[in-house]
Structure 1
Amino acid sequence: MKPEDLELLVTRTMPYGKYKGRLIADLPGNYLNWFARVGFPPGEIGQLLALMQEIDHNGLSRLLDPLRQRQKQ
C-alpha cells in the first residue's frame, strides 16, 4: 500500500456493478466482504477494494475522515 492509495479510496468511484458511481470508501462492508470471498478483480480497482475491505473489516474507516474533509475544501 502507498499513502496515495488512501486518497484514492475517497476520490475513486466504483466503475461497475450494483454500486457503480459510489466512492470506494462508501461501499458497504457486506459488498467488500463478498469480494473477499469470491476474489477481488485484477488491477488497481481490485487493490483498492481489498484495501477498503481490510480497513472496514478492522473498524478503521474513520481514519479516512481527514481525507474526506480535504476533498470537500
Structure 2
Amino acid sequence: MKPETLQLLVTRTMPFGKYQGRLIADLPGDYLAWFARKGFPPGELGGLLALMHEIDHNGLMELLTPLRGQRG
C-alpha cells in the first residue's frame, strides 16, 4: 500500500448514500461492515472503503490522526 492511499481516506468524501459528503475516514464502522457483507463498489472507491473497514475493524484509527491536518 502506498502512503498516498491513507491520505485519500482523510481527503475523499463518500459520493453517494446516507453518508454522502462525509470523509471516508469518518464513516461509521457499521456502515463499512455493511459494505463488507454486501460487497464494496468497484474501482478506487471500493478499495478505499475496504481499506477503511480493515483499519476500523482492527482498531487502527490512530494511523490516520497525523494525516488529518495535511492536504495532499
Q: Is the TM value for this pair above 0.5? A: yes
2:11 alignment partner in structure 1: 11
- Percent sequence identity over matched residues? 77
2:56 alignment partner in structure 1: 56
Q: After TM superposition, list the pairs within 5 Å mapping 1:1-73 onto structure 2.
A: 1-71=1-71
- The structure whose residues are more often helix, as a share, is 1
How far, CA to CA, are the matches of 2:7 and 2:70 in structure 1? Answer: 10
Instruction: Give 1:3 shift.
Output: 1.4
Q: Point out 4+ residue stretches in structure 1 off by more than 4 angstroms.
A: none
**TM-score where L is the length of structure 2:** 0.94
For structure 1, list consecutive stretches of 5 or more residues without a partner in the other structure: none
Aligned length: 71
**TM-score where L is the length of structure 1:** 0.93
Instruction: Give 1:10 shift.
Output: 0.2
How far, CA to CA, are the matches of 2:60 and 2:47 in structure 1? Answer: 17
Deviations 1:15-59 (A, max 9, x none): 000000000000000000000000000000000000000000000
For structure 2, list consecutive stretches of 5 or more residues without a partner in the other structure: none
Between 1:10-19 and 1:61-70, the stretch displaced more is 61-70
